[in-house]
Structure 1
Amino acid sequence: MGIAIRSLRQFRSAFRHRGYIHLNNFVNRRTFSVDANHGSIFRSIYNVESSLFSHPSSVISRALCADAAKAVTADASQGGPLVEYERRIATGELVDGDSCQVATLRELQRLYDELVESADACQLDRYAASKKSGRSRWLWSRLMPQSSYSPVKGLYLYGGVGTGKTMLMDLFFYQLPSNWRKKRIHFHDFMLNIHSRLRKHEGVSDPLEVVAGEISDEAILLCLDEFMVTDVADALILNRLFRHLFSNGVILVSTSNRAPDKLYEGGLQRDLFLPFISTLKERCVVHEIGSSVDYRKLTSAQQGFYFVGEDFASLIRSGLLRQKFKLLVGEQEPHPQEVEVVMGRTLRVPLGAEGCAYFPFEELCDRPLGAADYLALCKNFHTLALEGIPIFGLHNRTAAYRFVTLVDVMYENKARLMCTAEGSPSDLFEKIVTISDARHVAPRTSSRSRKNDLVDLCVDNELGFAKDRTISRLTEMNSKEYLEQHAAMVGWNERSQEEKSV
């Protein structure tokens, strides 16, 4: 009976894998061909693995396979990110990218090949791994402490904004066999999940060990996008958490704007964080993506949904954004709503209708909110109308941090932003500088002029590095290409909901 059940699971895995490849190639062909004119490849906006498998049309009739597991392995051994990239080049679906992206793809292909070759040793197949051993792993580790580091090292990709880090990792992730224990998640969401699990295991002698055991049971290959440590609570648990994860055989693939040695630079109690950096470099190959091109800014940016006026106060008084908001929601009357966040906590939405939410900037970024609130907002609304984004400086540094997090969460969830702002994306962060940038601020001859130059100047390394990513993302989020992709995603979700309700 056990053999029969396992065979059925393997067949189901291959069955879904075939349907996934068919639909994924269709979606990617559309989105990648749009961006090919810019001389580079861009990532697909669809989380195909999480959405298509639950969609009725994803189940495509196929002839029965004699050995489903072998079919999946055979496909994997002939695939990979670089192979898929070269296939699309050959078919004309996209044009060649820059040498830096190609070099990174070679690193990802090398990792892919190592994983395929060592799939059994790494216990990547979710159906081949014993569920009983997974459930009892934590108890067994307490009786017989042992370490089982993966024979394959992970990969830590870092580089400037807009160099295609996320797109390259996605190209790698979606080429992996669907029957593998793998997970792709944004770092913000990952840490929210960790803290939520820790609350569930309060009272256990080492809750981090239990949480690490749960994660490694679910995913041996962990892909984290936008690794960025700014919170002291996150910094203090990362070392112990990943020590347990790596000991359980987890393989990490991550993207970041920062080199490992620059993570949490200048943060509180950073000396307690330094062992994590050493562990990270020991268990991952570190690769820099060097490029002077920000591909996100090559899109056809237009004013569209980003309104800037010469007189910021009069722009807000005019009620322009509310007028645009009412046009978006159509005939439905917007009204105050509440969305559930976590642990029974809710977020009040001043006005909401037809998947669109309206907020004054102060209510969303001047209050003690965080990634969990913004994630809940994006799960319930696909469009945010944000009134009155100010220029950031020393006086509103905390609001700037929250705004950066908000943009990250919206970008990751492909949400649409309509806003009024005091300046262009680059103007908003003009007074935010890193320590290194502050040293190069040219002093004026007059002490009074120099004092005026430095008024409200915010010297903050983490915010200074994050601002370039935020400017880049705001630019892309206002582009024709992004808005078309957003519309396609909303249409897809609406059709899915209609079919589920039938």
Structure 2
Amino acid sequence: MRAVARARSLHKQVPWRQSHLQAVGDVRFHGRELYPLAGYNANRRGCTDFTASCSLHEEYPFAIRGFASSIDVSVSGEEFKAGPLVEYERRIAAQELKPGDEYQEKAVAELQDLYENLMRDAGDIGLEKDQPRSSQRGSGGGWLFKHFMSKSITPSPRGLYLYGGVGTGKTMLMDMFYEQLPRRWRKSRTHFHDFMLHVHSRLQRRRGMADPLEMVAGEIAEESVLLCIDEFMVTDVADALILNRLFDHLFRNGVVMVSTSNRAPDKLYEGGLQRDLFLPFIATLKKRCVIHEIGSSTDYRRLTAAETGFYFMGPGASETLRKLFLAELDGEETKPTIVEVIMGRKLKVPLAGAGCSMFQFHELCEMPLGAADFFGLFKNFHTLALDSVPIFGSHNRSSAYRFVTLVDVMYDHRTRFMCSAEGSPQELFAKVVTRADAPKKSDTRSVRHSDADLLVDDELGFAKDRTISRLTEMHSKEYLKEHAKTHKSGDSAIRET
């Protein structure tokens, strides 16, 4: 009850808006108290299944107060959900989430605020699939029409950029927000790597046109007015050089972005090549998104991690991994195969069968492969066995980058990961440090043996905490349950409804 009281107190601090949403349907609550339903106006119909008879005759602020075990409101033939704050309260009450994280609560308040703005303006900004998107942006009727009508076009609300440390619940909160939105909206949820791969793929198909980036942005805006992008992390110069113009076009087309990141906007692409050309994007991001930090120091992934999972170390680790891999095939014969990835690329899989694939580390992370190849791999296989993951240092910097990307893509696809390694996740990255953490050398002529293989790299030094956290979680019982659920239902990395 204290968790609910805390969330209610938080709710009062937020300038909740009144919604213009008109819903027609029945509301069913089961409990001793009647609480307002978020943005719901039930003037036309009564409410049933209450312990006390009642009716709703006014608009209420967003958020159901209390415990509602059943909510079934028909809005244009679709179930209406009350928003992320209500779902967050429900999960705390059901002991699915730990109460008392004020950082998460403040982030949920921001998400609820955005949810209300979108519900209020959905019809005006073109979120509804059954409404032509072009009419919402005033793109038809010629210059004179645009000139006089542009002032009456409802501007899209500001999006939200959530950033903070690893395992603080950013992705969970964004997904919770996304799942509360109507299925009929133009919306998509994707990982940043996947999003940029699709952008580059579209640009390649439109090569030779006057401004292919504007065309691609227009297509994306037509498909998804709301973009939810997980793990916003810019490391590639090709991505950095197009992001400003890409998002300038997207925002002009009314797109709203919700994203998560481990980095504050000012830290994005820090130290990257030609970063001065990237800086205008940071300014645009701050203008079009509310910037909110989740400052919790708790890593929830490690709290639920199992001790061993499918992570093997020491003598005989490779043999143990191979035996486990063969056991997972349930008698099916293994054989080499080739899978297609985006942009016409193909990837050779040395051993495959029953949705499982097995590689030596060098076959995936010491070859010229990238996120596109990994996405293609995990759209075909739900399990990866990776043998002989090494300790990372200055001698295998490129392999370390690929391994970090591999783990990110696996995590987003909820891939089951089995591996043999030279050390624990922490030991794999023990020699990777940022410039700020690198030991200071008083005498440049002498280098200690322990520092000889030190890898000083800001991007890897920053990303290693996320990778260690994800590797730990990926061998937990909770993650393996999610893996089974995801691949049983045939879910994908990009969820569009």
TM-score scaled by length of structure 1: 0.78
The structure with the greater share of residues assigned to helix is 1
More displaced 10-residue stretch of structure 1: 90-99 or 236-245:
90-99
What SS is found at the alignment partner of 1:436? coil
Matched residue, 1:48: none
Is the aligned partner of 1:124 residue 2:124? Answer: no
What SS is found at the alignment partner of 2:162? strand
Matched residue, 2:295: 290
Matched residue, 2:477: 480
Matched residue, 1:265: 270
Is the aligned partner of 1:101 residue 2:104? Answer: yes
Map of 1:59-138 to 2, 5 A cutoff? 68-69=75-76, 75-76=80-81, 79-90=82-93, 94-128=97-131, 130=132, 133=135, 137=139
Output the CA distance in 1 between the equivalents of 2:352 and 2:154. 49
CA positional deviation for 1:326: 1.1
Output the CA distance in 2 between the equivalents of 1:479 and 1:411. 12
Output the CA distance in 2 between the equivalents of 1:111 and 1:365. 40
**Cα pair 2:302 2:473 within 8 Å, conserved:** yes
CA positional deviation for 1:324: 1.8
More displaced 10-residue stretch of structure 1: 112-121 or 457-466:
112-121
- Amino acid corresponding to residue 110 of structure 2 in structure 1: E
Map of 1:390-469 to 2, 5 A cutoff? 390-438=390-438, 441=439, 450-469=447-466
CA positional deviation for 1:436: 1.3
**Cα pair 1:361 1:389 within 8 Å, conserved:** yes
Output the CA distance in 1 between the equivalents of 2:347 and 2:328. 22
- Amino acid corresponding to residue 304 of structure 1 in structure 2: G
CA positional deviation for 1:445: 9.7
Output the CA distance in 2 between the equivalents of 1:138 and 1:185. 30
- Amino acid corresponding to residue 110 of structure 1 in structure 2: D
**Cα pair 1:149 1:246 within 8 Å, conserved:** no
Is the aligned partner of 1:302 residue 2:299? Answer: no
Matched residue, 2:365: 365
**Cα pair 1:158 1:287 within 8 Å, conserved:** yes
Cα distance change on mapping 1:132 and 1:489 into 2, 3 Å: closer
**Cα pair 1:197 1:211 within 8 Å, conserved:** yes
Map of 1:126-165 to 2, 5 A cutoff? 126-128=129-131, 130=132, 133=135, 137=139, 150-165=155-170
Matched residue, 2:183: 178
**Cα pair 2:243 2:278 within 8 Å, conserved:** yes
- Amino acid corresponding to residue 322 of structure 1 in structure 2: R
- Amino acid corresponding to residue 290 of structure 1 in structure 2: G
Output the CA distance in 1 between the equivalents of 2:135 and 2:171. 34
**Cα pair 2:388 2:420 within 8 Å, conserved:** yes
Q: Which runs of 5+ in 1 are unaligned?
A: 1-13, 19-62, 495-502
Output the CA distance in 1 between the equivalents of 2:429 and 2:387. 17
Structure 2 counterpart of 1:219, from 224, 228, 236: 224
Output the CA distance in 2 between the equivalents of 1:139 and 1:239. 29
- Amino acid corresponding to residue 478 of structure 1 in structure 2: H
Cα distance change on mapping 1:273 and 1:442 into 2, 3 Å: closer
**Cα pair 1:434 1:460 within 8 Å, conserved:** yes
Map of 1:32-51 to 2, 5 A cutoff? none
Cα distance change on mapping 1:245 and 1:188 into 2, 3 Å: same
Structure 1 counterpart of 2:236, from 225, 231, 237: 231
Cα distance change on mapping 1:80 and 1:453 into 2, 3 Å: same
What SS is found at the alignment partner of 1:179? coil
Measured against aligned partners, the alpha-carbon deviations of 1:53-102 in whole angstroms (never above 9, x if no partner) come to xxxxxxxxxx997xx53x65x935xx110122123434555442411111
Is the aligned partner of 1:338 residue 2:338? Answer: yes
CA positional deviation for 1:452: 1.4
What SS is found at the alignment partner of 2:471? helix
More displaced 10-residue stretch of structure 1: 321-330 or 88-97:
88-97
CA positional deviation for 1:453: 2.7
Matched residue, 1:44: none
CA positional deviation for 1:231: 0.2
Measured against aligned partners, the alpha-carbon deviations of 1:265-320 in whole angstroms (never above 9, x if no partner) come to 000000000000000001111000001110000113222311111x5xx644xx33
- Amino acid corresponding to residue 117 of structure 2 in structure 1: E
What SS is found at the alignment partner of 1:161? coil
Output the CA distance in 2 between the equivalents of 1:102 and 1:161. 17
CA positional deviation for 1:322: 1.8
Q: Which runs of 5+ in 2 are unaligned?
A: 1-22, 27-71, 492-497
**Cα pair 1:307 1:419 within 8 Å, conserved:** yes
What SS is found at the alignment partner of 1:177? coil
CA positional deviation for 1:413: 0.5
Output the CA distance in 1 between the equivalents of 2:346 and 2:245. 31
Q: Aligned residues: percent identity?
A: 59
CA positional deviation for 1:490: 3.5
Cα distance change on mapping 1:488 and 1:391 into 2, 3 Å: same
Cα distance change on mapping 1:136 and 1:323 into 2, 3 Å: farther
Matched residue, 1:11: none
**Cα pair 1:138 1:210 within 8 Å, conserved:** no
Cα distance change on mapping 1:139 and 1:379 into 2, 3 Å: farther
**Cα pair 2:385 2:417 within 8 Å, conserved:** yes
CA positional deviation for 1:207: 0.4
Measured against aligned partners, the alpha-carbon deviations of 1:112-170 in whole angstroms (never above 9, x if no partner) come to 11111222232211212x267589959979x9798978341111000000000000001
**Cα pair 1:149 1:249 within 8 Å, conserved:** no
Matched residue, 2:5: none
Cα distance change on mapping 1:299 and 1:115 into 2, 3 Å: same
CA positional deviation for 1:486: 1.8
- Amino acid corresponding to residue 92 of structure 2 in structure 1: I
- Amino acid corresponding to residue 454 of structure 1 in structure 2: D
CA positional deviation for 1:325: 1.3
Matched residue, 2:351: 351
Cα distance change on mapping 1:208 and 1:446 into 2, 3 Å: closer
- Amino acid corresponding to residue 117 of structure 1 in structure 2: R
**Cα pair 1:150 1:251 within 8 Å, conserved:** no
Matched residue, 1:203: 208
Structure 2 counterpart of 1:191, from 193, 196, 205: 196
Measured against aligned partners, the alpha-carbon deviations of 1:173-215 in whole angstroms (never above 9, x if no partner) come to 1111112111111101100000011011111111000000000
**Cα pair 1:302 1:480 within 8 Å, conserved:** no
CA positional deviation for 1:424: 0.3
Cα distance change on mapping 1:92 and 1:256 into 2, 3 Å: closer
